[in-house]
Amino acid sequence: MRYRTLGGTGIEVSTYCLGAMMFGSVGNPDHDDCVRIINTALDQGINFVDTADMYSAGESEEIVGKALRGRRDEVVLATKVHFQMGEGRNRSGNSRRWILTEVEESLRRLGTDWIDLYQVHRPDHSTDVEETLSVLGDLVREGKIRAFGCSTFPAEQIVEAHHVAERRALPRFRTEQPPYSVLARGVETSVLPVCRRYGMGVLTWAPLASGFLTGKYRKGGPIDLTTGRAALTPARFDPAIPTNAAKLDAVEQLVELAEEIGCSLPELAVAFAAAHPAVTSVIIGPRTQAQLEGLLKGAPLTLDDAVLDRIDAIVPPGADVYRPDGVWRPPSLTDTALRRRPVAERAAA
């Protein structure tokens, strides 16, 4: 396992980060099995674990907490806050009120006195970023968190946050967690360059493109839309949809490339993400022991320029074959009132 410094934090982390999204009711409900997977990852040199309060409604954090008993000091532990937790108002977002409440719940579920990296899971248009940075800085001073970052923020909001931090003399985001894979390279255009500009650590998610880079889904092969992840969101996997057909076309070329250099498609996919100079660590999110072991085989793999050039020919730099699942969409696109003048104004114009 290789290690890199996480931005300007001085914290060394493994280039593979164990993602815990699949631990719990959403993925693997067997707590003992999940604990074994986590301990196997630690035994193989991974020292970076990422979870979130909303993964399986807190169950993932509880599982990670169980696994780290007696090993807490070995691990750089990351979790996230933002999404709705339970019923009622003011139980989500990036406000001081909610962050102060939810960090205590995460600490309790994780069974720890501190979180190494506390991340804001998505932007919150209803909260001034100054308020968010201020409360996160307070938590650092209190010793409840060591550093903080953001996740899936567009480049312009990362820049705004750094500008506000400088103007108001506040601590700043030290990391960003964007989606990044061979099939979703859009962050290469601005997000990753902005992170390098500000010396931020980057831990990327979805290197396997929601399963398309596992080799499970192949052009012309059967794709069962009634089971597993495909049953939950069939539109993401239906080969009759042009975007999915484009994914499958790219996969065929990538499978051929992986075979030529003697590795598996998942190994190629993770090594690609780790090759970008802005990327510190790549989050792998296994659901089973076998999946973890398959991914760990690729840890020593380094792609040379010739291979990266071949990948660029298949999916050009900065291009998205598909829009990654779960990417934040600004209110300017989702709220029609923000992109349409009132009817009376349109008629008078």
Average pLDDT score over residue span 174-184:
98
- Mean pLDDT, range 240-268, rounded to an integer: 96
Of 222 and 146, the one with more pLDDT = 146
Q: According to the model, what pLDDT value does residue 197 have?
A: 98
Q: What percent of the chain has pLDDT over 70?
A: 100
Distance CA 288, CA 67 (A): 15
Helix, strand, coil percentages for the chain (3-state, nearest 5) = 45, 15, 40
| Rounded Cα distance, 277 and 273, in Å | 9
Q: Torsions phi, psi of 273, nearest 5?
A: -60, -40
Q: Predicted confidence band at 27 (pLDDT cuts at 50, 70, 90)?
A: very high
**Distance between CA atoms of residues 228 and 272, nearest Å:** 26
Per-residue tokens: 119: 């991340």
Average pLDDT, the chain: 95
Q: Considering only CA atoms, which of 20, 252, 7, 334 is closest in space to residue 147? A: 7
Residues 49-67, mean pLDDT to the nearest whole number: 98
Give the pLDDT band (50/70/90) at residue 349.
Answer: low
Nearest Cα to 120, choosing from 86, 73, 161, 156?
A: 161
Query: Which residues, including other chains, have CB under 8 Å from residue 307's CB and lie 6 or more apart?
Result: 257, 261
322 is catalytic: no
Whether 151 contacts 120, CB under 8 Å: yes
Task: Answer whether residue 345 shows pLDDT above 80.
Answer: no
CATH code assigned at 95: 3.20.20.100
The number of distinct structural domains making up the chain is 1
Two structure tokens written together for 61? 């954090």
For the cut 70, the answer to whether the pLDDT of residue 75 exceeds it is: yes
pLDDT at 330 (0 to 100): 86
Active-site residue, selected from the candidate residues 16, 55, 180, 322: 55
| Model confidence band, residue 96 (pLDDT cutoffs 50, 70, 90) | very high
Asked which of 12-21, 94-103, 325-334 is least confident by mean pLDDT, the reply is 325-334
Question: Under a CB-based contact definition with an 8 Å cutoff, are residues 149 and 176 in contact?
Answer: yes
pLDDT tens-place string over residues 299-314: 999 999 999 999 999 9
- Cα 175 to Cα 110, 118, 277: the distances in Å are 21, 10, 14
Q: How far apart are the C-alpha atoms of 205 and 177, rounded to whole Å? A: 7
Strand runs (DSSP E) across the chain, as ranges?
3-5, 12-14, 16-19, 48-50, 76-81, 115-120, 145-151, 175-177, 201-204, 281-284
pLDDT at 230 (0 to 100) = 75
Give the tokens for residue 88: 């009622």
Measured N-to-C along each axis, helices 59-67 and 96-110 cross at an angle, to the nearest 10 degrees, of 40
Q: Is the pLDDT of residue 44 over 80?
A: yes
Find the domain containing 294 and state its range: 3-348
pTM of the model: 0.94
Give bridge partners of residue 79 from the DSSP assignment: 118
Query: Exposed e or buried b for every residue in 247-259, given b needs 16+ CB within 10 A?
Result: bbebbeebbebbe
How far apart are alpha carbons 252 and 271 in whole angstroms? 18
pLDDT band at 32 (very low <50, low <70, confident <90, very high): very high
Which pLDDT score, from 0 to 100, does residue 166 have? 97
pLDDT band, residue 236 (cuts 50/70/90): confident
Contact 154, 191 (CB under 8 A): yes
User: Degrees (nearest 5) of the Cα angle 4, 283, 53?
Assistant: 115
Q: Does residue 9 register a pLDDT over 70?
A: yes
More confident residue, 257 or 229: 257
- How many angstroms from the chain centroid is the CA of residue 188? 15
Distance CA 1, CA 342 (A): 58
